[in-house]
Amino acid sequence: MVKVFRAFSYALIVIAMIVATLTFTAFPESAFWAPTGVWSLLPPMVAILLAFTTKNVVVSLLVGIFSATYLIAIQSCSPCVALGRSFVIFTQRALEVVAKPGNAGILLQCGAIGGLVALLAVSGGIRAIAELFVKFAKGAASSQIVTWALGLFIFFDDYANVQIRGPIVRPITDRNRVSREKLSFILDATAAPIAGIALISTWIGTELSYIESGLADAGLDSTYQAYSIFVSSIPYRFYNLLMLAFIFLSAVTLRDFGAMYKAELLARKGYLRDMNLKLVTVEDAMNGASDGLLSETIKGDESSRESRTSGIWEILMALIPILVLITSAFGFFYSSGRAAIIESGDADRIVSIQGFSAASIRNVLGAADASISIFQAAVLAGLVAFVMIVASRRLSANEAVSAWFSGVKSLTFTFVILILAWTLSTCIGKDYLGAAKFLVGSLSGGTPAFLLPTLIFVLAAIVSFSTGTSYGTMAIITPLAIPFANALVPHDYSYLVLATSAVLTGAIFGDHSSPISDTTILSATSARCGMLEHVGTQIEYALYVAAISIVFGFLPAGLGVPIWAALPVSLVAVLVLLLVKGKRVPDVGDDK
């Protein structure tokens, strides 16, 4: 049955591409039937459909990319020539995305943190840190709360948030029989939703720039300040706030539903699914059998080394490099952002970074190159870990280097997925097919004022889910949403704030839940969970929280209900959802 469904999916895609070719040929002047019209939505739909039917992410992304490059090629070639041309376009776009400084920085950052994590693992430091946290996480509920709380602490960048927490908390959640699916969900849902509302983060500069662009287009740049609107929008970020509350309440009540409930029940029985979707026992998972890392790199004559110490030194073996990573990241953020502002030559921006006020630090961090800064911090932390390991004679220099490389190699699959996801996103982006532009252009101009925030949220969620990028969604929709909102309700500050929060929050939905989002990919990798299992178990949660955000948040707020009434009611709705739909999963040690 599964094979038949997969064959049907491929046949459906072929038929869709033939129909796209015929309609474009038959109606060459039609903007709707053009490759940049309704057919621009086909590639992401193809990738997502195949991902869930074939369980093969690489193949799914490749098919999605080739359907996109074919649509690009057919605009200037005959159908037969376009088939060959699509391969050339694919290689060109793949090279482009890897060559982009931001993307290259993310790949370097991931590799450097992967190498660092491998060093911390072979030193025994991660296990020691996990043992330390076990004092606070003695069951499934408390271990989920600890994971959630650490996400609030590492607020400054979503990538760093996921990659730092995953290796630290995974031994804890494995020990307490929390599924890898639930772990990856918590990692993902406390990354972008936190960074997106933090007053000091690598996100804020980008978000402010889009708000400023929207205000300028509406002719309001001299009336309102972007930062004021950003801060005022935080209570209206219903999806972000409700998702954070959902995780906490789910952990406290130990209630889950849908596919996540099944994964949690399996984990409580002592079985976890690894990245290859194989069932492993909790004991094997704790011993690293599910990771396939490091054991082959630690060889040599143990008797030739001095006896290894334990206890506080093992904790320091991990704690010191992690602290170096976090603190130096802020230092590199600051130097990177300051240099970027000075090089811009903008006198007002240069004046704004004088001194060490909260405003100047915010401006500097907002201008920083986050991926390169975290890469630099990870390399420095890796050097510190390397020196500590070799100096303590836990490993020889050659063994430590081998362990570092094994950590980098373990992320090969992640690198491939990221590059393919970026390539697909580029092909359907504004410079080529323009899928998001088509969706935005489909928004009706006769929208009632109370309904606009909801429609903006839904549109931003669809665009971000389809393209896998929150930044791209914000860049496209924010400059349009703010003028649109001002046209419907002129010079209403509260309404502008609500419309802005709808864009920024809807964009977070896709960043959190899309199978082609880089944060989604990194969350699954950090939790050592199959990516499609991660997406399949968390999507229902994301949709329910999004629905509550609309029904109890954006719709009432659009009708004039004050935030002090809408937000508490929304939080109660989240709790009711868990109590009514959710089923309690026994905690470790409970009678079953």
SS (H, E, C) 401-414: HHHHHHHHHCCHHH
CA 178, 180, 185, 187 dihedral sign is positive
Determine how β-strand 279-281 pairs with β-strand 255-256: unpaired
What is the tens place of the pLDDT at every residue in 138-194? 788 889 998 998 888 777 677 778 877 888 888 889 888 999 999 999 999 998 888
Burial 230-266 (b: 16+ CB within 10 A, else e): bebbbbbbbbbbbbbbbbbbbbeebbbbbbbbebbbb
Q: What is the mean pLDDT of residues 343-357?
A: 69
Q: Report pLDDT for 443.
A: 58
Residue 308 has pLDDT above 50, yes or no: no
- Residue 293's pLDDT band, with cuts at 50, 70 and 90, is very low
Q: Report pLDDT for 201.
A: 67
With contact defined as beta carbons under 8 Å apart, do 427 and 93 qualify? Answer: yes
Q: What letter represents residue 234's amino acid?
A: I
Q: What residues contact 232, with CB distance under 8 A and at least 6 apart?
A: 493, 497
Which of 66-75, 263-272, 348-357, 380-389 shows the lowest mean pLDDT across its residues? 348-357
Q: How many CA atoms lie within 13 A of 348 on its CB side?
A: 0
Q: Report pLDDT for 548.
A: 96
**What is the distance, to the nearest Å, from the Cα of residue 514 to the centroid of all Cα atoms in its chain?**
8
Structure tokens at 164: 């730092």
Q: Report pLDDT for 567.
A: 94
Q: Report pLDDT for 553.
A: 94
Q: Which helix (H) or strand (E) holds 539?
A: helix 531-549
Q: Which helix (H) or strand (E) holds 255?
A: strand 255-256
Q: Rounded CA gap, 320 and 343, in Å?
A: 34
Q: Rounded CA gap, 550 and 278, in Å?
A: 38
Q: Rounded CA gap, 534 and 117, in Å?
A: 21
What is the tens place of the pLDDT at every residue in 66-104? 988 998 888 888 888 888 898 999 999 899 888 888 788
Q: What residues contact 314, with CB distance under 8 A and at least 6 apart?
A: 123, 124, 125, 127, 128
Percent of the chain with pLDDT over 90: 21
Q: What is the mean pLDDT of residues 526-535?
A: 88
Q: Pick the residue with more confidence: 151 or 254?
A: 254
In degrees and rounded to multiples of 5, residue 455 shows phi and psi of -65, -40
Q: What letter represents residue 189's amino acid?
A: A
Nearest C-alpha neighbor of 117 from the set 336, 360, 294? 294
In this prediction the pTM is 0.76
Residue 310 has pLDDT above 50, yes or no: no
Residue 206 has pLDDT above 80, yes or no: no
Q: How many CB atoms lie within 10 A of CB 3?
A: 7
Q: How many CB atoms lie within 10 A of CB 492?
A: 14
Q: Report pLDDT for 24.
A: 73
CA 237, 239, 242, 243 dihedral sign is negative
Q: What is the mean pLDDT of residues 282-296?
A: 56
Q: Assign 279 to helix, strand or coil.
A: strand
Q: Rounded CA gap, 341 and 348, in Å?
A: 10
Q: Rounded CA gap, 514 and 506, in Å?
A: 12
- Residue 279's pLDDT band, with cuts at 50, 70 and 90, is confident
Q: What letter represents residue 238's amino acid?
A: F
Q: Report pLDDT for 178.
A: 92
- Residue 392's pLDDT band, with cuts at 50, 70 and 90, is confident
- Residue 431's pLDDT band, with cuts at 50, 70 and 90, is confident
Highest mean pLDDT among 183-197, 301-315, 334-348: 183-197
Structure tokens at 212: 């400023």
Q: Rounded CA gap, 248 and 133, in Å?
A: 18
What is the tens place of the pLDDT at every residue in 100-130? 887 888 788 878 888 888 888 788 777 777 6
In degrees and rounded to multiples of 5, residue 81 shows phi and psi of -65, -35
In degrees and rounded to multiples of 5, residue 256 shows phi and psi of -140, 170
Q: Assign 585 to helix, strand or coil.
A: coil
Q: Report pLDDT for 237.
A: 95
Residue 540 has pLDDT above 50, yes or no: yes
- In sequence order, which ranges of 287-346 are alpha helices (DSSP H)? 312-344
- Residue 291's pLDDT band, with cuts at 50, 70 and 90, is low
Q: Rounded CA gap, 513 and 553, in Å?
A: 20
Q: Assign 224 to helix, strand or coil.
A: coil
On average, the pLDDT of the chain sits at 81
With contact defined as beta carbons under 8 Å apart, do 341 and 367 qualify? Answer: yes
Which of 150-159, 320-329, 583-592 shows the lowest mean pLDDT across its residues? 583-592
Q: Report pLDDT for 446.
A: 63
- Residue 409's pLDDT band, with cuts at 50, 70 and 90, is confident
DSSP-assigned letter for residue 237: -
* Inter-axis angle of helices 493-513 and 452-467, nearest 10: 30
In degrees and rounded to multiples of 5, residue 584 shows phi and psi of -75, 130
Q: Rounded CA gap, 33 and 71, in Å?
A: 11
Q: Rounded CA gap, 425 and 100, in Å?
A: 14
Structure tokens at 360: 């100047």
Structure tokens at 516: 């082609």
Q: How many CB atoms lie within 10 A of CB 175?
A: 22
Q: Give residue for tokens 């760093």.
A: 160
